[in-house]
Structure 1
């Protein structure tokens, strides 16, 4: 188990650049991040693109003519990827992240993000890994995502397997049906069980197997839970820790990784 937690750039580095965008992933890599965390959804024409939700977010999205998106009703599973790419998701910034740069950008394909990371790895000789979340909710089956987790997971795996080594993959989801399918049918990479408040014991009971990683909200994670996970052979990677003091606390508690919007605030990066 890692002594210094590995820093994962949440949606690239959401605190500093537009989330889940190529500029955010590039900036995270240049800061020294070696694990890029991201979310994936599917377009109408079956393209796997990087986005936290399968709807346009009115917090920061704009139409191609510059008009702000006013609500979250634009279902991207009903749009082709070309239509999705026409939206600007960076120029307005994000009021929740006042340090975030305002740059025109779009929701990229997963293949583009993986190509960016692999090119950086070749250039620098650094090993880059990818924590990819399949954004799946049972209430959205057949609405903003495929009707089956098999179709969704298979399409994601097709892109991943063509782009990177499975050893560089962490596959995460809050939808345990996705993780169960991945474990039995695809069985590649490390599986990370995402939860908010659930204890590791609850997660194990619900999931039905021991994943490589337990990833809970840091707000509900205790040192006892971290120790329990380690006793079961699981790593612990909490989300989303955005202050240096909290990162240091969880480092002292021996978490294996930290997901953060602000990699620049990580104790090991402050000297840069």
Structure 2
């Protein structure tokens, strides 16, 4: 993973508070600014193309059709659309009346922006000349909705095949809430670090400390003393990526004792960023990489150099 001791400054979906999420303009902005890692999500189309999208299908808050109208909910899953169909939708501007728009009122609209392929993102990074930025790639599979994506085996095979074909295996991490995909990555590409995403709170937690869930590939913290870090280590993880609100100093210390790195998501406020750094986390995923650079710099963390590039 390069320097294992370095702090990892990650631009969440390319930095979606600034520019449209998971798009080439957002990733170009993050590269120009300077981040350690581009965090992103991928799905696979009906014709096998790996595309960059957080949702498993078209997002009604983002996707506009040829007539300029936002699509109706729910959006069609990508596994049922060909790439040429996906390309017809404009995702450069948030639906104005949506809760998403209220969450990111300062996002700069980029009308005409399309959903990119992962190959196009790799090409953008090569164009930038940045030889050190990494990719934290999330597999968008939900075990509770198997009809909305390829099965884990096919998904992982397609993703790893592309990564290997472009020669980026040494710059990639694979992350997921669906630990089945991570186990497959460990078997098929053991040199690629796996990042175990967890959420313990809210209406839809993915993890429970007393049992296995549909997300955890049969692993239960109850079999590991109720310890989430120990469970992830047993599953073969290299990195634990919890929701930042679930993290304590004790848990960070426990994870480090197990040689797990801890990279928290998604931290957008200055005070929370400072607190996470003080807890000793190894990295932060943020929609505001610009603000994270400021806070990290104030904490004496060496900042990654920018590599200006146009999308």
Same fold (TM over 0.5): yes
After TM superposition, the structure 1 stretch with the greater mean CA deviation from structure 2, 185-194 or 130-139, is 185-194
1:155/1:222 CA distance change after superposition, 3 Å: same
Kindly tell me: are residues 144 and 32 of structure 1, through their superposed partners in 2, closer, same or farther at Cα, counting changes over 3 Å?
same
How far residue 259 of structure 1 moved from its aligned partner, in angstroms, is 0.2
Report whether the alignment pairs 1:140 with 2:142.
no
For the residue of structure 2 that corresponds to 1:138, the secondary structure is coil
Q: Does 1:158 align with 2:166?
A: no
Moved more, 194-203 or 39-48: 194-203
Correspondences of 1:37-186 after superposition (within 5 Å): 37-92=39-94, 94-95=100-101, 96-104=103-111, 105-120=113-128, 122=129, 126-141=131-146, 143-146=147-150, 148-186=151-189
Match of 1:268 in 2: 296
Q: Distance in 2 between matches of 1:256 and 1:170?
A: 15
* Inter-partner Cα distance in structure 1 for 2:173 and 2:133: 12
Is 1:232 the counterpart of 2:258? The answer is yes
> RMSD of the alignment, in Å?
2.2
Distance 1:92 1:19, change over 3 A: same
1:2-28 deviations in Å (ceiling 9; x for gaps): 776321000001100000000000001
Q: CA–CA distance in 2 between the matches of 1:27 and 1:206?
A: 33
Question: How many residues end up aligned between the 2 structures?
Answer: 267
- What is the alpha-carbon distance in structure 2 between the residues aligned to residue 166 and residue 228 of structure 1? 29
Paired residue secondary structure (1:103)? coil
TM-score normalised to structure 1 length: 0.91
Distance 1:205 1:92, change over 3 A: closer
In structure 1, stretches of 5+ residues that fail to align are none
Distance in structure 1 (CA, Å) of the matches to 2:55 and 2:230: 26
Report if the CA contact (8 A) 1:7-1:263 is conserved. yes
For residues 14-33 of structure 1, what are the structure 2 equivalents within 5 Å?
14-33=16-35
CA contact (8 A) 1:61 1:89 kept: yes
Q: Given the alignment of the two structures, is residue 211 of structure 1 paired with residue 216 of structure 2, yes or no?
A: no
- The answer to whether the aligner puts 1:256 opposite 2:264 as a matched pair is no
Using structure 2 for the length normalisation, give the TM-score: 0.80
